[in-house]
Structure formats: structure tokens, C-alpha cells
Chain A
């Protein structure tokens, strides 16, 4: 029966269809060309940037010293040394930020999906998360500066940087977690309630584990985004060319800060350090992105 309906020769006798006029065909062709062109234009800067970073930075990171040494004791024009201190700073600041942001972000998402409903507080929270997403990193850094340094009189430190990064990381985690919690089927929750399990235990043991792969992916992506932020480290931490393990005190390097610092170094050594740090940062971020993909593949729920 359906084949009869779909049979074009029966329904459409030749006069019904007229060929598309030339002007319409030309317009269609131009539009198609423009749309493809737009995509190709966007690829150019991406490839160009990556090519620049790889071409200039790759020889630098091939040296084993780059990963094992700091810039301690080196003059601006002296080649050699490494970015060990800056890699440590970037990773530690990012991880501390994640340790603070993840619980807050997940709890906010739980509130929005499981408790908030359509209450006024839930609406304003959603709105504020949106606003927080758009807060420029320099404003977040200034805010932490006003609280941490001028109000409480504490010094610049890696911890202050991590706190500023929290402001940038929380909204990303909230968004992704919220999306993931929303797609957990209500049947799972209801089955749990039917067994007399309290709501909080249902959320912790049923809802979160189901959404876990998506949540972890979101966290990894947020971490990757936060590690490349430069404005907070510029405002809230001083650069140290040597390793500093202390999160709470003293200057600490990070890859973006190292690049900003070496920008004023016109020598060949400065050039190498800038692009070496750039490719290291890109590699780190790529690793976290890959990790996100791997996690989401490995932990994805097997059900449909």
C-alpha cells in the first residue's frame, strides 16, 4: 500500500513538475558556495595557529630537560632550562580549582534539576549561572583581588588564582551536569522511590552514577578551558622562574604566565620559551580533551 503512494510515476505526471528556473538555481548555488566557504574560512585560523605553535614549539619540547627542569638561575638570553615549574603550577592550580568547583557545580545542578522545579530561586539561579558564564575572566580575577588581597589582606598566591578560576569553572560544570541529570529517565527515580529509598540516596546512588560519564566529561572540558586562562594568574600570582610547591604562599609560575613574562625577552631563548610553553599548554589541554572523550566512551551507560 505504501509503495503505491510513494510511487512517483503514478502520482506525478510530467506536467506537474517544472524544472527549477536558472535564477533560482544560481541563487542556490551561490548560497551553497558561501556556506561551504564560511566553514573553510573558519578552518584556516585553526590550522594556521596549530601549525605556528607546532612549528615553533615542537623542537623545544623534544628536549628532555624541558619537562624536568625549571628556569632557575638562567639569564634571559641563556638557552636551555625547562618548563617543569610552570607545568606544575598550571596543573596544581587547575586541580585545586576543580576540587573546589566540582562539588559546588554538581550541587547547583542537583538543586536545579531535582529540587528547584520552577521556583523563583531556581529561575534566578539559572539566570545567574548564565551571567556567570559570561563574566570576563579579568573581572573574576579583579573580584578575587578585592576580596582576597584588599579586604582580607592576604598575599598573592596560587590559591587565590584557583579561587578566581572557580568562578569560571562552576558555570561550565553546572551546565553540563544539568543537561546530564535531565536525561536520566524518571522511571529510574520512581523505581528507587518505590523501594522506599530516600530522595537524597536516590540521587547519590542512582541518578549521579547514571549520569556520571557525562558529568566527568564536562569536568574535564571545564578543566581544559580553565587551564588556559591567563588573566587570573596575571592579576593574582607573581611569576617565579623556579619551582614552588607551596600553594598558599610565594610566587608560582604557570604556562600562561611564563609566556606573558617571556614576551618581553627579545632573545632567541625567549622565543623558544614562549612557543615551548605555548605548545606545552596546547598539549596539556588536548590531553584533557582526549581524556574527556575516553571517559565518556568508557563509562557511557549501555542502555538505550
Chain B
């Protein structure tokens, strides 16, 4: 029964290395071939036609352009932020102050901006994540087949509403409606710092609480869309196996769809977080500017990176003051870059989502 090759190899110890190398070589050279199944490559033309060369150059150039573009965004923001950072009279990372009215005495730090940005985004994510999961499950597993598509279209419509309209709605319509609820929270749960009375007038509704809810609505479509795509790819065998074992609908979802789609859902939520961090005009319209700094309450006002820049943008006159905002924009860029890169790498690690 013993394979003669197996018996032979240890008998000639000096040769094994070379033999293995030879044996491994065809396998190694075989592997890279399948990824390039482009038909024209097999008909090696003696000369490349000029039209082909130009077109290929244009296409490749566009690809390079995108890569260069991202680099250029980072580079230009850094270059323009550095002079102002040098003129900053307080610590950029740890100061809560933001005063750029006098270009000769710049005092700007991003601590408050970072905290407000992160709290708004996390609140939005906290609200949106379970709802988006529910919608994605609904659209892929629960909705009647012929209605799933129109329902999905309705959810996508949320993404079509411009963010400024959401902002106006949040400030003028949702804010007043939330006021009694906010007041109740402050009165009854005010001893928790998160629900303490904030630094702005709650009655106007311009709080982190309102902003978080509106941003949650705005990131729902992206989280739903990406999760849905992943849930749809749950192998039918898994689902049918679970059904055959007598699982109820919920047990099917819990044992097949959720484990399979978990990474995709996390990635989708990260994409949503990226959107929430960068959401500009809705937050800028809703949040009341506060005179005192952020005190860890949901009923505080303040500014996020994006809203601070947007509201100050029309008055960018002195390059030194503008540089302060560009520095803030750079931090926001890095923040969203990291969040998005993590989201993509999660999906990239799962071949079954392809």
C-alpha cells in the first residue's frame, strides 16, 4: 500500500530539497495563472495598436488619479494647517478653547470638538444600529417576497432627502416634539451626568440629543443597505439545514443569517459611524452654540468638527484663521479615513461575501 515516492524520499536525503523544489514549482507557477483569465492576452499580438495604448493609458491614468487625489487631500490639508498650528497659543489636542477672531493671537484646541463629534456619532450609532439590523433582517427574511423590493426602495429614499432638509426638520419640528421628553429625562434622571441639564436652552431643541437622533435617521440607509447585501448572501444550504432541523423563523435567523452576516453588519455600522462623524450641515443647523464647554450631557450644545468648519467657512478671510479650521478638517479626515479603512478591512477579510 505504501506509496513508493514516500519511501524513496527519505532514502535520498540529499535530493529531497531539490526534488521538492521541482515538485513545488509547477504548483507555484500554476497558482498565479487563474487570476488573469483575460481572453485577449492569449493572442499575443506582435504590436500594440496605438488606440489600445492610448485608451489603456487613459484608464490607468484615471486609476492613478484617484490614488493621488486622496494623497493630495491629506497633503494639502497638512501643508495649510502647519503654519497655523505653529501659531497656536494653546495645545491643539488638549485645549477646549476655540478663538480665531484675532489672527495674531490664535487660540484653538480640538478637545471639545472631538468629544461632541464622537458623542453625537456614537449616540446616532447606538440608535441606528439595532433599527438597521431589524430593517435589514426584515427586508431579507421577513418581508413578503413581492414587497421586499418596494420596501427597500422606501428605506433608500431616506438617503435621497438632502441633509439640510433633515437639519431644518430636526430643529424646527423634531426639537419641539422632543422637548417634553428631554425635560422629563433631565428632571428624573438628571443625576446621571449624561442626562444632566446642559449648557444650552433645552426648549430650543438644539442639543446633542436632537442632533444624535437626526443623524441616526440619516445613517440608517447606509447601514441597512450594506447589511442587507451581506444577509442576502447567507448560503441557502445553511438556511435549509436549519429549517430541516425544525427551527422557527427566528432560530433560522439566529443560527444561520446572523453568524454569517455578523462581520458585514459590523462593517456596515463602521461605515455608518464614518458618515455620522462627518455629517455637516444637519448638525450645524441643529446644535446651538454653547458658551461653556462640553460637560458630558446629552443636553449640551456645542460644535462638531464639521459643523464648526461649516459655520465659520463664509468668514474665512485670514489664511491664519482659516488654517485653524483646516487643521480641524484634517483631524476629521484622518478620523473618517481610519474608520472607513477598518470597515473595509473587515469585509475584505471575509471571502464568502464576494
Chain A positions near chain B (C-beta within 8 angstroms): 17, 20, 24-25, 27-28, 30-32, 34-39, 41-43, 45-46, 48-50, 52-53, 104, 107-108, 110-112, 114-118, 121-122, 124-125, 127-143, 145-147, 149-151, 167, 170, 174, 186, 189-190, 193, 198-201, 203-204, 224-225, 227-231, 234-235, 238, 256, 259-260, 263, 274-275, 278, 281-282, 285-286, 289
Contacts and interface: CB of A to CB of B under 8 A. Distances in A.
B340 to A, nearest CB: 4
Contacts of B326: 142, 145-146
A49 B169 contact: yes
Contacts of B224: 42
29 contacts: A38-B138, A39-B143, A42-B131, A42-B135, A42-B217, A42-B220, A46-B154, A50-B161, A108-B66, A117-B35, A117-B38, A131-B341, A134-B343, A135-B73, A136-B336, A138-B306, A138-B309, A139-B332, A139-B333, A140-B73, A143-B73, A145-B316, A146-B76, A146-B77, A147-B72, A200-B55, A204-B55, A225-B159, A278-B165
Contacts of A142: 77, 309, 325-326, 329
B60 A115 contact: yes
B341 to A, nearest CB: 7
Given A17-B246, A49-B166, A282-B161, A34 B329 contact: no
B237 interface: no
Contacts of B325: 142
Contacts of A189: 39
Nearest to B173: A52
Given A38-B135, A39-B134, A52-B169, A200 B142 contact: no
User: Most B CB atoms within 10 A — which of A39, A141, A228?
Assistant: A39
Interface of B: 35-36, 38-40, 43, 49, 51-52, 54-56, 58-67, 69-70, 72-73, 76-77, 79-80, 130-135, 137-139, 141-143, 151, 154-155, 157-166, 168-169, 172-173, 217, 220, 224, 246, 248-251, 253, 271, 274-275, 277-281, 285, 305-306, 309-310, 313-314, 316, 319, 322, 325-326, 329, 332-333, 336-337, 339-341, 343-344
Given A107-B58, A281-B162, A134 B67 contact: no
Given A121-B64, A136-B306, A190 B131 contact: no
Contact of B56 (A104, A200, A235): A200
Contact of A167 (B69, B77, B161): B69
Contacts of B253: 31
